[in-house]
Amino acid sequence: MTLTVLYFAWLRERIGHPRESVDTGAATVAELVAELIARDERYAFTFSDLRAVRVALDQQLSDFDAPLAGVREVAFFPPMTGG
């Protein structure tokens, strides 16, 4: 499947772009992250501490164990700082 993957704030800066299309067979968010980490050092550095990363699936907050079946958009970002 092809996913749109978005990055925000310092994750976007470390990865170097705000969005990309990713062809993946990953069944869960954690598997997708493992695939990205295996790509190169930028991804490995960005995802080195997952406690500092949040994920949304199709614009709903989710978690790393969540399945990707039926999902079109995955977003990675740091804990939010609104207000």
- Residue 10 as a binder of another protein (CB under 8 A): the answer is yes
Alpha-carbon gap, residue 76 to 59, rounded angstroms: 11
Task: Tell me which stretch binds another protein (CB under 8 A): 5-13, 26-34, 39-47, 63-71.
Answer: 5-13
Min dist. Cβ of residue 38 to another protein (A) = 26
Min dist. Cβ of residue 72 to another protein (A) = 11
Alpha-carbon gap, residue 16 to 7, rounded angstroms: 9
Structure tokens at 52: 């500092």
**Residue 63 near residue 29 (C-beta atoms within 8 A):** yes
Q: Catalog residues that contact another protein under the rule CB under 8 A.
A: 6, 8-10, 12, 56, 59-61, 73, 75, 77-83
